[in-house]
Amino acid sequence: MTARIRLQPEAIGMGMTSQRVRDRLIDRLRETGIRDERVLNAIRTVPRHLFVDEAFATRAYEDTALPIGHGQTISQPWVVAKMTEALLQDAQPKRVLEVGTGSGYQAAILAALGLEVFTVERIGELLRTARKRFRTLGMNIRSKHDDGRIGWPELGPFDAIIVTAAAPALVSALTDQLAPGGTLVAPVGGAASQSLLRLRKDADGVIEETNLAPVVFVPLLSGMID
């Protein structure tokens, strides 16, 4: 898998968004256990400061979640790295569904890894902003404004599914849309305590579950808003 994005001049960045600052984030991710060089390379390449408001651009390469409006957050880079690593481990996914586009950053990381990305977001305004970012970066990512708890049945099954908001339990429509041999990564739990789970579906449709880490995500909510 190779990085396939064209960097625009504004993406090269200066000062707090310079390559040196970005490399420091990569060092930190290595120190905190991220090993997959493909994932580290995607994070080095995709300009995270273009996925947050200008007011937060100087903090874009800290290993922290940041607000993106509507009470939502762009996930912490370590969490993005961990989830992406979990999707690629012992698997060669081609088509991946993301539930919870948010800023579009996680989708952009998956696209930079050469995956065909489908992403669903329930908040119209966030999705419109994310789509502009995909265009700026020349990324061909398919997206729709919908309640992602139904997945994207017309386009499934998917080799991989990543859910970036927490539900109290696994959503069966999503596990149904996972292809045999596929991997699903999702935070599961309530506001107080959530676990990042990885599910592997074998060729017979039997699901095996691994608990990867404790995490904190915004909730997976029902319905759509403009």
- As annotated, the active-site residues are 75
Q: Which of 22, 131, 149, 198 binds ligand SAH (CB under 6 A)?
A: 149
CB atoms within 10 A of CB 212: 15
Q: How far is CA 106 from the centre of its chain?
A: 3
Would you say 69 or 181 has its CB closer to ligand SAH?
69
Would you say 76 or 181 has its CB closer to ligand SAH?
76
In angstroms, the Cα distances linking 93 to 81, 110, 185, 193 are 16, 10, 13, 29
Q: Which of 84, 164, 183, 194 binds ligand SAH (CB under 6 A)?
A: 164
In angstroms, the Cα distances linking 222 to 149, 150, 182, 225 are 7, 10, 25, 10
Scanning the structure block, which residue is given the tokens 């996680």?
106
**Quick one: which segment of 3-11, 85-93, 147-155, 197-205 binds ligand SAH (CB under 6 A)?**
147-155
Would you say 180 or 190 has its CB closer to ligand SAH?
190
Does residue 141 interact with ligand SAH by CB under 6 A? Answer: no
Q: How far is CA 123 from the centre of its chain?
A: 16
Q: How far is the CB of 46 from ligand SAH (least distance, A)?
A: 10
Q: How far is the CB of 82 from ligand SAH (least distance, A)?
A: 13
**Span 50-79, contacts to ligand SAH by CB under 6 A:** 72-75
Q: Which of 50, 52, 88, 120 binds ligand SAH (CB under 6 A)?
A: 120
Does residue 103 interact with ligand SAH by CB under 6 A? Answer: yes
Q: Which of 13, 47, 93, 148 binds ligand SAH (CB under 6 A)?
A: 148
Does residue 43 interact with ligand SAH by CB under 6 A? Answer: no
49-53 long-range contacts (CB < 8 A, ≥24 apart) are 49/13, 49/17, 50/10, 50/11, 50/133, 50/136, 50/137, 51/103, 51/104, 51/105, 51/108, 51/133, 52/103
26 Cβ contact partners less than 8 Å away, ≥ 6 residues apart: 40, 43, 44
* Cα separation, 198 vs 212, whole angstroms: 7
Q: How many residues bind ligand SAH (CB under 6 A)?
A: 23
| Residue facing ligand SAH at closest CB distance | 102
* Cα separation, 121 vs 158, whole angstroms: 17
Does residue 166 interact with ligand SAH by CB under 6 A? Answer: no
Residues that bind ligand SAH (CB under 6 A): 72-75, 99-100, 102-103, 105-106, 120-123, 126, 147-149, 164-165, 218, 220-221
